[in-house]
Structure 1
Amino acid sequence: MNLQPLTQRFVLHFGEMGSRWGINRTVGQIYALLFVSAKPLNADEIAEALAFSRSNVSMGLKELASWNLVRLHHLPNDRREYFQAPEDVWAIFRTLAAERRKREIDPTLSMLRDALLEEPTAEEDVHAQARMKEMHDLIELGTSWLDEVQKMDSASLAQLMKMGSQVQKLIQVKDRVKQAFKSDKAS
Structure 2
Amino acid sequence: MNLSATEQKFVLHWGEMGTRWGVNRTVAQIHALLFLTQQPMAAETIAETLGVARSNVSTSIRELQSWRLVRVSHVLGDRRDHFLALQDVWEIFRIILEERKRREIDPTLSVLRECAIEGAQDAELDDEVLARMQVALDFLEMFSATFQDYQRLPPATLQRMLKMGGKVARFIGPNGKDKA
TM-score (norm 1): 0.87
SS at match of 2:46: helix
1:31-180 matches, within 5 Å, as: 31-118=31-118, 119-122=121-124, 124=126, 126-171=127-172, 175=178, 177=180
- Bigger helix fraction: 1
Cα distance in 1, alignment partners of residues 74 and 2 from structure 2:
25
SS at match of 1:87: coil
Distance 1:43 1:102, change over 3 A: same
Ranges in structure 2 where 5+ consecutive residues have no aligned partner: none
Cα distance in 1, alignment partners of residues 23 and 15 from structure 2:
9
SS at match of 1:80: strand
Amino acid at match of 1:19: T
Amino acid at match of 1:32: A
Amino acid at match of 1:56: N
Largest Rg, 1 or 2:
1
| Root mean square deviation, CA, Å | 1.7
Aligned length: 175
Amino acid at match of 1:120: D
Cα distance in 1, alignment partners of residues 178 and 53 from structure 2:
60
Q: Is the contact made by 2:150 and 2:158 (CA closer than 8 Å) also made in structure 1?
A: yes
Runs of 4+ in 1 over 4 A off after TM superposition: none
Distance 1:123 1:56, change over 3 A: closer
The aligned counterpart of 1:180 is: none
1:67-93 C-alpha deviation (Å, 9 max, x unpaired): 111122112232221211111111111
**How big is the shift at 1:15?**
1.7
